[in-house]
């Protein structure tokens, strides 16, 4: 006897919520894919519990699901608290949507607390380490070192997310006015100033490197191109950073987000107002940005502990 291929009420509810996020909220494709994976795991758990309708889901089901995520299974390792909490965000979003739409009388996830996650501060590297990284990106001949330097200068000089940098088109960059237009989460645009180093590196790539690389492709408006002339992928941009970090002798934990963290931290250390940094990063709430102020406070504590005779 084969399984029933028809979608269940839960499947239809998941599709409705994801469509709402895509059409009404403008959520990115990467976020949608992550939510879909998380909810596939959720609906699989419910089907194993013989629950096929959203209205039959209880808080006990949600709590048990979280518990199993943390414990793991023979075919799946246990999830870290942060990953389990992210999965709960997807589950909670689905059931809150159904409750607001009137499809449920209440939200069964409302009273289920997410697992505690470690209180981690964003990792930032020093300005000296940034300089080493950028110099390492310039090593070599041909157009690609020009591209790599321009990419990393942009990431550090604007605080752009890796998806924002790889999604840049030539028309989004004005090296004369020294400004770049970034398309952030939810399709929100923001204008960010370009420092002189980032503007010079971008101009060098656009004038001396990109035309040669573009001839290998079929024509694309993308700023950053791969070796075959197509738009540089997020994975390839990661590889650019990894390669430069290895040549610079920096540890293997650097990510494009490290440069975003460093951008924010160094601005605040230089006296920038947290609300200005919020606008530059494209954060919807200043609360998200305020985590960077804790980085600088932590550095002050370390200096104090090492320097003050009464600190210990």
Point out the residues that are catalytic: 161, 185, 257, 260, 283, 292
What residue ranges in 123-219 does DSSP mark as E strands?
Answer: 173-174, 179-183, 189-193
Distance in angstroms (rounded) separating the CA atoms of residues 93 and 13: 11
Sheet with strand 179-183: strands edge to edge: 173-174, 179-183, 189-193
Whose CA is closest to 282, among 158, 144, 154?
Answer: 158
Per-residue tokens: 262 = 């460093």
Distance in angstroms (rounded) separating the CA atoms of residues 33 and 153: 29
- Other Cβ atoms within 10 Å of 21 Cβ, number: 19
Distance in angstroms (rounded) separating the CA atoms of residues 291 and 297: 10
Per-residue tokens: 68 = 């199993």
Give per-residue burial for 48-76: e unless 16+ CB within 10 Å, then b.
Answer: eeebeebeebeeebbeebbebbeeeeeee
- What count of Cα atoms within 13 Å lies in the side-chain half-sphere of residue 250? 24
Q: Which residue matches tokens 């494209």?
A: 282
């Amino acid at each position: 006897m084969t399984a029933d291929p028809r979608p269940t009420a839960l499947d239809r509810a998941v599709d409705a919520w994801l469509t709402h996020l895509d059409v009404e909220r403008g959520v990115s494709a990467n976020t949608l894919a992550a939510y879909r994976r998380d909810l596939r795991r959720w609906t699989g758990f419910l089907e194993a519990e013989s629950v096929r309708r959203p209205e039959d889901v209880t808080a006990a089901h949600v709590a048990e699901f979280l518990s199993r995520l943390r414990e793991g299974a023979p075919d799946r390792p246990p999830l870290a608290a942060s990953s389990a909490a992210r999965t709960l965000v997807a589950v909670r979003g689905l059931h809150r949507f159904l409750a607001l739409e009137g499809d449920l009388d209440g939200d069964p996830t409302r009273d289920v607390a997410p697992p505690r996650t470690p209180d981690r501060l964003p990792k930032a590297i020093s300005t000296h380490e940034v300089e080493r990284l950028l110099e390492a990106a310039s090593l070599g001949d041909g157009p690609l070192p020009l591209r790599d330097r321009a990419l990393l200068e942009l990431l550090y000089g604007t605080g752009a997310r890796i998806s924002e940098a790889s999604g840049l088109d030539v028309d989004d960059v004005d090296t004369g006015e020294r400004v770049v237009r970034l398309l952030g989460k939810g399709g929100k645009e923001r204008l960010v100033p370009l420092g002189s180093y980032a503007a010079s590196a971008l101009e060098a790539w656009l004038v001396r490197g990109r035309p040669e690389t573009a001839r290998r492709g079929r024509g694309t408006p993308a700023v950053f191109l791969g070796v075959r002339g197509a738009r540089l992928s997020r994975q390839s941009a990661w590889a650019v950073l990894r390669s430069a970090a290895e040549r610079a002798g920096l540890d293997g934990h650097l990510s494009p987000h490290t440069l975003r963290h460093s951008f924010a931290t160094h601005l605040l250390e230089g006296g920038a107002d947290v609300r200005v940094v919020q606008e530059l990063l494209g954060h919807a709430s200043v609360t998200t940005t305020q985590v960077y102020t804790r980085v600088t406070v932590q550095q002050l504590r370390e200096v104090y502990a090492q320097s003050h005779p009464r600190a210990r």
